[in-house]
Amino acid sequence: MTPHEKKGATQYTPYHPRWYRTRVSTYWWLWKWYYLKFVLRELSSIFVAYFVVITLLQVHSLSRGSETYARFEERMRNPLTIALNAISFFFVLFHAITWFNLAPRAIVARLGGKRVPDILIAGSNYVAWLAISATVAWFILR
């Protein structure tokens, strides 16, 4: 029994007992830039989660008073943390941009019987992103 048959895939007729099935290489994602981009996009979710944890820690230390927050800031100044944050920021950007660009494929909106152009669907995501970022920046920098 082949691994595929063990997993419950369609059983083939017994008349050709010697089909050849190629094994999928562990490195299939290196075959094409398209595959690699997909794997990087999936990987980026780890960095998105990392930023969520960092933000929660930041809020937590802020709620514990100025001394705790100063310690948090001190940890954030560590060159290793800065490097990790820089890499994470790159992946978060990659995550956001690739998902925004894919949004029109999933969302089919119709206005007056016509399909809303892709650029408007992706564009609205970017506009929302900019607006939220500007609001956050205003709160931090004012």
Which residues form the interface with another protein (CB under 8 A)?
Answer: 4, 7-10, 12-13, 16-22, 24, 28-29, 31-32, 34-35, 38, 42, 102, 105-108, 113, 115
| Cα–Cα–Cα angle for 106, 112, 117, rounded to 5 degrees | 40
Q: How far is CA 10 from CA 15, 23, 91, 113, 127, in A?
A: 15, 17, 39, 42, 47
Minimum CB separation of residue 40 from another protein in Å reads 12
Minimum CB separation of residue 110 from another protein in Å reads 8
Q: Which is nearer to another protein, 107 or 136 (CB)?
A: 107
**Residue 91 contacts residue 47 (beta carbons within 8 Å):** yes
Q: Which is nearer to another protein, 59 or 109 (CB)?
A: 109
Q: Which is nearer to another protein, 42 or 74 (CB)?
A: 42
CA–CA distance, 123 with 26 (Å, rounded to integer): 37
Minimum CB separation of residue 114 from another protein in Å reads 8
User: Measured on CA atoms in the order 134, 140, 141, 142, is the torsion positive or negative?
Assistant: positive
Structure tokens at 2: 């082949």
Q: Which is nearer to another protein, 7 or 142 (CB)?
A: 7
Minimum CB separation of residue 26 from another protein in Å reads 10
Minimum CB separation of residue 81 from another protein in Å reads 31
Cβ of 47: how many Cβ atoms within 10 Å?
Answer: 20
Q: Which is nearer to another protein, 15 or 138 (CB)?
A: 15
Beta strands in 42-98 (DSSP E): none
